[in-house]
């Protein structure tokens, strides 16, 4: 079965990391009107990190369905991302 996808699984991961980094770097611009002691930059960066972890986990699961051949060939890359992000999610769910 031939996939006609323009972007591959690694491209999806890199695209998501790029989006989260751009959002994280825009924090000073988004919070420029806030008071210097405000917690807004911290909260926005925290949301960016949460989105990064959850997005990477969801993408690693979707890669197993969308890119089956790639996942079979490079299972260690996708598996590492899945286990690492699931561990981070589980840690924060258990610790709260």
List alpha helices for the chain, DSSP H: 9-25, 27-30, 40-66, 68-73, 75-95
Confidence of residue 4 (pLDDT cuts 50, 70, 90): low
For the whole model, what pTM was predicted? 0.80
Question: pLDDT at position 39, please?
Answer: 76
Question: pLDDT at position 81, please?
Answer: 93
Question: pLDDT at position 3, please?
Answer: 57
Q: Are 70 and 9 in contact (CB under 8 A)?
A: yes
The mean per-residue pLDDT over the stretch 1-6 comes to: 58
The mean per-residue pLDDT over the stretch 32-52 comes to: 78
Token output for 88: 């981070």
Question: pLDDT at position 43, please?
Answer: 79
């Amino acid at each position: 079965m031939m996939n006609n996808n323009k972007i591959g699984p690694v491209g999806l991961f890199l695209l998501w990391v790029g989006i989260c980094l751009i959002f994280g770097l825009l924090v000073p611009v988004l919070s420029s009107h806030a008071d210097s002691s405000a917690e807004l930059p911290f909260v926005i960066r925290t949301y960016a990190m949460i989105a990064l972890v959850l997005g990477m986990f969801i993408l690693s699961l979707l890669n197993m369905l969308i890119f089956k051949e790639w996942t079979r060939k490079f299972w260690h890359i996708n598996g590492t991302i899945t286990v690492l992000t699931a561990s981070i999610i589980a840690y924060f769910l258990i610790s709260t």
